[in-house]
Copies of this chain bind each other. A is one copy, B any other.
Amino acid sequence: MDDKVILIVEDDKAIQNLLKIALKTDYKVDIVNTAELAIDYCVKNIVDLVILDLGLPDKDGMYVLENIRSWTKNLPILILSARSDDTDKVNALDNGANDYIQKPFSTTELLARIRVSLRNNIILEENSIFTNGDLVIDYIAHSIYLSGQEVHFTNFEYKVICLLAQNVGKTLTHNYIISQIWGMGGNDKNGLRVFMAAIRRKIEKNAYCDEIIRTDVGVGYRMNKI
């Protein structure tokens, strides 16, 4: 389960339940009912978002907000409050709240606003890196490394390598490779051979990856798992 974790800080049982029901299909939900417990929970657990009621029994919700913000700017906090006063809203928002939702609230709107906050918080570092022995392909950067050195491959060479890499261990027929690289029209086996030679030359010159690309006579080519 890789669901996001939402912490609800709320002492009113009715609203606790309402929120739990609204959120539980999309998120993992935990509930605490005091300021003290809220801070403690956030320090000790991985939380993706906090829904914070301002009216808590022990301390004001603003205290929780300020405390959390003193050690992380990266955790989205949504204030839920009956207070409709402008001052409260501005205060909360200026102290680091990501949104301020007034009671009574619509759960569909709340859900949408949760999605906004989680979306804004994404710090995405997609990790699509392929490794096979001394060969490393960084699909996002569009670059290939051999023995740790970046080596330049032309666009078509790159496409052929990626295709083989995405099918490690499987032999791809000439026609399949040609159709993937040149489209349906292409039918030049000789051309493909020239590219394979160029690719092999670069690999063999830059890394010890013996037999990483193998010829299946009469069938096609395959990349072996090293």
Interface positions of A (Cβ within 8 A of B): 73-74, 86, 89-90, 93-94, 97-99, 106, 108-109, 111-113, 115-116, 120, 123-124, 140-143, 154-156, 169-171, 216-219, 222
> Is A171 in contact with B222, judged by CB distance below 8 angstroms?
no
Total identical chains: 2
Min CB gap A212→B, angstroms: 15
13 new A-B contacts at CB < 8 Å, known A89-B109, A89-B112? A86-B109, A90-B108, A90-B109, A90-B111, A90-B112, A93-B109, A94-B115, A97-B116, A99-B99, A120-B124, A143-B169, A143-B171, A155-B218
Assembled-state Cα–Cα distance A216/B169 (Å): 29
Dominant SS among interface residues on chain A: mixed
Q: Which residues of B contact A93 (CB under 8 A)?
A: 109, 112-113, 115-116
Q: Which residues of B contact A140 (CB under 8 A)?
A: 170
> Is A154 in contact with B94, judged by CB distance below 8 angstroms?
no
> Is A98 in contact with B120, judged by CB distance below 8 angstroms?
yes
> Is A217 in contact with B113, judged by CB distance below 8 angstroms?
no
Residue in chain B with minimal CB distance to A73: B123
Residue among A98, A99, A112, A155 with max Cβ neighbours from chain B (10 Å): A112
Min CB gap A72→B, angstroms: 11
Q: A90-B109, A99-B99, A109-B90 are in contact. Are A170 and B142 (CB under 8 A)?
A: yes
Min CB gap A140→B, angstroms: 6
> Is A155 in contact with B217, judged by CB distance below 8 angstroms?
yes
The 10 closest A-B pairs by CB, nearest first: A155-B218, A142-B171, A93-B112, A90-B112, A141-B170, A86-B108, A93-B116, A89-B109, A86-B106, A120-B120
